[in-house]
Structure 1
Amino acid sequence: MPLHDPAHAFVPYPDVPVPHASTGPLTGLCFGVKDLFDIAGYPTGGGNPIVLARSGIKTRTAPTVQRLLDAGARLVGKTVTDELAFSMTGHNVHFGAPLNGAAPERISGGSSSGSASAVSNGLCDFALGTDTGGSVRAPANHCGLYGLRPTHGRVSLQGALDLAPSLDTCGWFARDVQTFARVADVLLDADPAPLPAQVRLLKPIDVWALSAPAAVAALEPALRATEAVLGAAQPVQAQLDSFEAMYWAFRYVQGREAWMTDGPLLERYAPPLGAAVKQRLDWCKTVTDAQLVPATAFRARFRAHLGALLGRDGVLVMPTMHDIAPLRGDSEDAFEDYRNRSTESLCMAGLSGFPQLSMPLASRAGAPLGLSLLGPAGSDRSLIALAERIAATLPAPIYG
């Protein structure tokens, strides 16, 4: 870990040299890695002391991390994650709460809290995270960063701890779109389904209606700037059946898979857990086949629904989150309400498996707000290219 970590973003492991190429497309950049990924010479702790104790020192580095090293990037350290990657607040009872570099009085968001904190505080140029239910997009929104939840399976998670494998993805953060795109050139091969030069920009008015009115007002200039580059956004309805139906389909699938992943560990070792994480996992244990089967069928229907809406050239433009980050001192009830409200829109990319890119284009009350582009499966690099075009027309953010 870095000798100086004022943000408490890194796990305090002893420093172990990790070789990297002397030249490559990422030469001159340094990065952090969420402590779910294996790195030779380090344990993989998953934000929990029992997982850490059972880990042992790894002898192999996860392929995605190795690609970055081979491209010339220098590893700074492993970053704090919310416990078992199953939270969105950035609070870990064992390792603390990394500081939000753009709004220190507000949460960093999770579960890729340390990665977002490290980048937003300037402790590294970019950082790897994972996103199951919003764990890259939420911290990107809160910390004023670019952050991608890629097409499911697009970036390898081999050598990383699971949460819900059919929903888990590997994403990353950067403060500027140029650095973000350099990392994309290494981690993403050519798009299997690139967007055309002229896209159909779509404004899901039902998703916008989920946001706080003050957040919508704050995002309007960024929306207008996006439309100036990509064309006027056509209003559409993106939900299927209802946001409540989408929310519960996502929760049941995630819950069953999370229990299949972590249940054996919990039942054998009864590890210490934060109260909110424990409550969530206790609920996961109760998910029944009668709940899972229709949820899985709904997911297939939603993927087809969103695929038909987007076609090969459609891009949704929408708020990343319903508002700015909550304050660090908010109550647990307030955090739970925030998580549930956030899941209503965040679950769209999770249920479909489609890519969503959060861009730090707005602010409210001195805190960042993200505007997202969500495109068809396999359009990840095309979305980043669109973000580069949009960013070129806007001033740098005023926060941070």
Structure 2
Amino acid sequence: MADAPVHADAAVPEGLLTAFRAYETALMADDVAALDALFAAGPATLRGDAAGLLVGHEAIAAFRRGRGGAPAREIAAVHVRVLGPDLATVVAELRPVAGGHGLQTQTWRRGPAGWQVLAAHVSGAAPAVDGRVWRVVGTPLVAGAAEGPLRGRGVAVKDLFAIAGQRIGAGVPAHLAEAPVESSTASAVQVLLDAGAEVTGIARTDELAYSIAGANPHYGTPPNARVPGALPGGSSSGPASAVALGQAAIGLATDTAGSVRVPASYQGLWGLRTTRGRIARDGLVPLAPSFDTVGWLTRERAVLAACSRVSGRGAPAAAAPDVFAVDPGLLDGLDADVADVFRARVARLTPEAVDPGDVAEALEAFRVVQAAEAWAEHGAWLTAHPKAVSGAVAERIRAAAGIDADEAARARDALDGARERFAAALEGAVLLLPSTAAPAPRSTAPADEVDRARSATLRLTCIAAILGAPALSAPLLEVGGAPLGLCLVGPRDSDDALVHLAASLG
């Protein structure tokens, strides 16, 4: 940095370059306290990069704490434009050690605390492939049919589906290391290829798809394209981020307890959990077969409609009722701002109040059955690979290992009762509810805060999972500037009709 040439249009104000050098030293040392002190306090400070804009000193500081340091780099040149005796713009030409080039633009102001950054924008060397989002990519990885309703649409395939010539990683390095090369392609992938779509690549998932947060300790957490510094939502985190970033048009995903609807809500996407059993699940690594189903994430409703139409061809098709329903008890457990935004949005639809019974009790039964099935599917392998998964997923696996046959049987009986209550309460109606209990938590949020968000959200998402019903997350709500999905849960096989119905809600 000391040897980098400085180009200025006027005399550089005293102390500015000293402050700039101090910033660079702190950045390379990941000295978060020093960096915080060099950024102006208050809600107006800005920091932007390719992932989006952070507004306010607090948001910027939280981002730094969770980043774990910046990539090593050298300063090739510094350009200063003096805007006043106490105000200047500094543009630094960057040479990342890993290669490529980038720019850093900062507006500095001198005040009582000395020189501090008011606004900054960083454009680093663009990676050819963001390993947090993608495991494998191609140009394309698999070509589709020359014609069809999805012609040329790129697909990010969740790393649970078989693709001929590729391995399945399931979000776990040890799983990938032992996985065989697939000899055939999963039907859910092939039907999109036959409709003209092409596979852009295989996208990341949470470990064994047993999470709805979107974090992966092995590969890094995919970015949330709509809320910088926030969790992307999981377990279809990679496909969702790829679509939200504009790197794919379609995310082919799965939804067991909300793994399509949660990332759709967190990143402002359309997301459809299909009727369980409507879309073939061959060539798919399961989590809990009683609830697993295929789904898609898109930026455009029309593309989602096409995915559902071509994938469900030949399956039964039910109409969506023209009556809307709301469970007031579910809203009582939400934060006031979420409940208020939801009520205001659906008021014109004059929904009827319904009471499906004790959802919390049903959720507990769902959790037990899901865990028991996850252990049945993966327990032997995890026993042989005790350190393959970590964190919250490892805790869930340990709990699953302790569920005995009697406990699982009681939970299944309880679920049968809940399913009957839910079906009776919602007969002839489309249930409306928020897709998630809140917008995306910060990626630096404490584990207990993320777990509370997960539990509150599962109380909403478990209804469709228990019913085996289709559920559409539509990007129609916003809380505090962050996206939140409006969820429609319809009768079995009303998948296409739900997507069509949502067109009238925009």
Query: Fold-level match, TM-score > 0.5?
Result: yes
Shift of 1:16: 7.5
Pick one of 410, 413, 416 that aligns with 1:294.
Answer: 410
Q: Retained in 2: the 8 A contact 1:106–1:326? A: yes
Please say if 1:273 is aligned against 2:389.
Answer: yes
Please say if 1:328 is aligned against 2:433.
Answer: no
Shift of 1:220: 3.5
Distance change (3 Å), C-alpha of 1:31 and 1:17:
closer
Deviation by residue 1:186-239 (Cα, 9 ceiling, x = unmatched): 11236635226x6111111112222211112223443145x1xxxx2111112x
Aligned partner of 2:279 in structure 1 is 155
User: What is the one-letter code of the residue matched to 2:180?
Assistant: G
Shift of 1:290: 2.6
User: What is the one-letter code of the residue matched to 1:270?
Assistant: P
> C-alpha distance in 1, partners of 2:489/2:346?
14
Shift of 1:243: 2.8
Aligned partner of 1:167 in structure 2 is 291
Shift of 1:3: 7.1
Shift of 1:274: 1.7
Q: Indicate the SS of the match to 2:214.
A: coil
User: What is the one-letter code of the residue matched to 1:340?
Assistant: S
Deviation by residue 1:152-208 (Cα, 9 ceiling, x = unmatched): 111111101011111111111011211111111111236635226x61111111122
Provide structure 2 residue ranges, at least 5 long, that are not aligned to the other structure.
1-125
> Where is the strand percentage greater, Structure 1 or Structure 2?
2
> How many residues of Structure 1 are paired with residues of Structure 2 in the alignment?
381
Aligned partner of 1:234 in structure 2 is 352
User: What is the one-letter code of the residue matched to 1:107?
Assistant: L
Aligned partner of 2:341 in structure 1 is 218
Q: Indicate the SS of the match to 2:505.
A: helix
Distance change (3 Å), C-alpha of 1:3 and 1:151:
same
> C-alpha distance in 1, partners of 2:424/2:317?
14
Q: How does 1:1-400 map to 2 (within 5 A)?
A: 4-6=128-130, 8-12=132-136, 17-189=141-313, 192=316, 194-195=318-319, 199-224=322-347, 227=349, 232-238=350-356, 240=357, 242-311=358-427, 313-391=428-506
Q: Retained in 2: the 8 A contact 1:27–1:72? A: yes
Deviation by residue 1:267-324 (Cα, 9 ceiling, x = unmatched): 123242222111110000111223211211122122222222222x311111111111
Distance change (3 Å), C-alpha of 1:53 and 1:15:
farther
Provide structure 1 residue ranges, at least 5 long, that are not aligned to the other structure.
392-400
Distance change (3 Å), C-alpha of 1:18 and 1:55:
same
Q: Retained in 2: the 8 A contact 1:191–1:379? A: no
Structure 1 vs Structure 2 CA RMSD: 1.9
Q: Indicate the SS of the match to 2:280.
A: coil
Q: Retained in 2: the 8 A contact 1:299–1:352? A: no
> C-alpha distance in 2, partners of 1:114/1:38?
16
Greater RCO, 1 or 2 (C-alpha within 8 Å, sep 6+): 1
> C-alpha distance in 2, partners of 1:120/1:17?
20
Q: Indicate the SS of the match to 2:310.
A: helix
User: What is the one-letter code of the residue matched to 2:148?
Assistant: G
Distance change (3 Å), C-alpha of 1:7 and 1:146:
farther
Deviation by residue 1:107-129 (Cα, 9 ceiling, x = unmatched): 00110000111111111111111
> C-alpha distance in 2, partners of 1:17/1:209?
47
User: What is the one-letter code of the residue matched to 1:133?
Assistant: A
Q: Indicate the SS of the match to 1:106.
A: coil
Aligned partner of 1:398 in structure 2 is none
Deviation by residue 1:66-109 (Cα, 9 ceiling, x = unmatched): 01011100111000000010111111111110011111221001
Shift of 1:45: 0.3
> C-alpha distance in 1, partners of 2:432/2:140?
42
User: What is the one-letter code of the residue matched to 1:166?
Assistant: S
Deviation by residue 1:3-47 (Cα, 9 ceiling, x = unmatched): 744583111467784231111111131111000001012110000
Shift of 1:342: 1.5
> C-alpha distance in 2, partners of 1:153/1:210?
31
> C-alpha distance in 1, partners of 2:248/2:345?
27
TM-score, with normalisation over the residues of structure 1? Answer: 0.91
> C-alpha distance in 2, partners of 1:365/1:354?
30
Q: Retained in 2: the 8 A contact 1:7–1:117? A: no
Q: Retained in 2: the 8 A contact 1:50–1:271? A: no
- When structure 1 is superposed on structure 2, of 334-343 and 165-174 the one drifting more is 334-343
Distance change (3 Å), C-alpha of 1:276 and 1:46:
same
Distance change (3 Å), C-alpha of 1:61 and 1:271:
farther
- When structure 1 is superposed on structure 2, of 324-333 and 334-343 the one drifting more is 334-343
> C-alpha distance in 2, partners of 1:193/1:69?
22
- When structure 1 is superposed on structure 2, of 33-42 and 206-215 the one drifting more is 206-215
Q: Retained in 1: the 8 A contact 2:433–2:486? A: yes
Deviation by residue 1:370-398 (Cα, 9 ceiling, x = unmatched): 1111111121111111012223xxxxxxx
User: What is the one-letter code of the residue matched to 1:345?
Assistant: L
User: What is the one-letter code of the residue matched to 2:479?
Assistant: R
